[in-house]
Amino acid sequence: MHSFRYVQNQLQCEDVRLSDLVKKFGTPLYVYSEATLTDHFTKLDQALAPLDRLICFAMKSNSNLAVIRTLAGLGSGFDTVSAGEIQRVIAAGGDPRKCVFAGVGKTEEEIAYALDQEIYSFNVESEAELKRISRVAVKRRKIAPVAVRVNPNVDAGTHAKITTGTYENKFGIAFEDIEGVYARAARLPNLRLRGLQMHIGSQLTDVKPFRLAVEKVAPLVARLNARYGFDFFSIGGGLGIVYNPALDSGDAGWWKTPAARRILTPERYAETLKPLLQPLGLRILLEPGRFLTGNAGLLVTRVEYIKKTGRKNFVIVDAAMNDLIRPAFYDSYHQIVPLERRRGATIASDVVGPICESGDYFAKDRPLARVGEGDYLALLSAGAYGSVMGSNYNSRPLAAEVLVRGKKASLVRRRQAISDIWANETIAPWQ
């Protein structure tokens, strides 16, 4: 479910027409629905009751301060992968004591900062990292809470670039080596062995990989808990969303159709995993990102040109791969709809941006309503891995971002000024 729908043929976010936002803030423009963020968090949290649980939002999916503030207000913790993300949590009013710190390349400075903020736990990716955390903790005279990330060697069945739980990936420690790693970690000073963590991949739409991973790892957790006295078991994130048809999935009626039966819902996810997790008697941590934010946001873009060749109909828009890189990076699908609903025949179109790269596209040979210069399109399901992966390639400014609550809309990230792009650059003194 989400809060983007046509009302009298005008696409709205909650009770706000997107066309009105375009008039006020221009394009490219990211728009987020606070109601959708709240709904997704609440549904997942309630589905997991009565487990002792902590949802740690994966900030890598969307690190806008307003998004963080919304989720923090709901009681969310945060899955962070840098000192910068921890600082963002604090800046947004979130609690660093509800933060886990993941990532394979933590620096000594980042570890020290995280210790000073009293984070909930480090998700540790290697023995070398355990030793580094121990050294830093001794220097800071602090006790570092840690959870080693186990690689269960379970294929998530998702895109190769977002699979994280097999031995071909850079993440975690092999399942067979974990008990030895914990035994050695127990001898290191200033470490608290607080739990175990895993994460097998992103955009999973089938519950089977989750079940297989938990079935494999849960007995290991029980053995380690008996030895070291754990507080939690983190099962990671990865819950997928509806990319096609994204717009239809905002309608409660669509979820009763046969097409919806293949979609993994929080309820089915929880029903499968709770019987495996409850006997452990531990707090369960989850690290969802895309599930919370993906369909809570979209990207609005303006049609600049229509270019017809002998073989193609190109719809050239003002957004580009620097604004939303997923199609270029992953060949990912984003449903594209006009802000004003059009009836009649469609035309197979390539929707492309202005960047001088053949990979700068959002759709290829996509049936699309006939549009012309000055019309506006919405790229749906852009709330995760959208703006947060933006860049200044081609010296293009980062897009503006707006948060909607009911009839209210607020600019939560101003459009970057072109001069801001080189604000930190200087000319060498000999030039």
Catalytic sites, residue numbers? 356
CB 248 within 8 A of CB 254: yes
Two structure tokens written together for 362: 């959002």
- Amino acid 79 reads D
Q: Rounded distance, CA 88 to CA 61, Å? A: 13
Extended beta strands in 166-260, E state: 173-174, 191-197, 232-234
**Using CA of residue 108, residue 114, residue 116, residue 118, what is the dihedral sign?**
negative
| CA distances in angstroms from 92 to 68, 130, 193, 335, 418, listed in the order given | 6, 29, 29, 31, 26
**Using CA of residue 214, residue 218, residue 224, residue 225, what is the dihedral sign?**
positive
- Let me know how many helices (H) and strands (E) the chain has, helices first: 12, 21
CB 154 within 8 A of CB 191: no
CB 285 within 8 A of CB 278: no
